[in-house]
Amino acid sequence: MNDKLKYLIKRVLSAFFDLVVFAIVCEPFGFIWNNGEGETNLPTYIFFALYYFVICTQEFFFNKTIGKFLFGLKLEYENNIDIYGVQKFFKLFIRRAFDFIELICPFSYFIFIIVNKENKKLGDYLTGITIKIPKN
C-alpha cells in the first residue's frame, strides 16, 4: 500500500473515531436535556457547541484529537512553527468552523482532501495547518 493511500485511510479513520468519541461524550447530554414535553432531544445549537468544544479543546491543549493520537497523525502549522495563545485559538477556530459543512455533507471532506496536492481539508487549507504522519 502506498504512503498516500495509507495516509488517507488514517485520516478518514481518525475523523470517524473522533465522531464516535464525540457521540459517546454527547450521549449523556441527550438524556439529561428535557424540552418540557417529555422529549430528550438535544437541540442542534447545543449539539454543535458541544462538538466544537470537545474537538477544539483536544487540539488546543494536545495538538491532536484522540483519533489523530490513535492513528499516529500530527497537526503542524505552516512553516513548521509553534503557535500559542490567541493566534493558535484563532487558527483552530477557523479550521474547525468548516467541520459543520463536512458534517452536513461528508463528501466535501473526502473530495477536498483527495483533489488538493497536500491532502488538506478546506479548513486546513485556509489556515495553513497540515496533518502529517510524524517521521521517526
Which residue ranges make up each domain of the chain? 3-132
Please give the residue that has the higher pLDDT: either 44 or 126.
126
From the number of C-beta atoms within 10 Å of its C-beta (0-12, 13-18, 19+), residue 96 rates as middle
Q: How much is the pTM?
A: 0.77
In angstroms, the CA 32 to CA 1 distance is 46
Main-chain phi, psi angles of 74, to 5 degrees: -135, 140
Q: Which pLDDT belongs to residue 136?
A: 59
Which percentage of the chain shows pLDDT scores above 90? 8
Q: What is the pLDDT of residues 50-77, one digit of tens each?
A: 888 888 888 888 888 999 999 999 888 8
Which grid coordinates belong to 95?
479550521
Q: Which residue has the cell 484563532?
A: 90
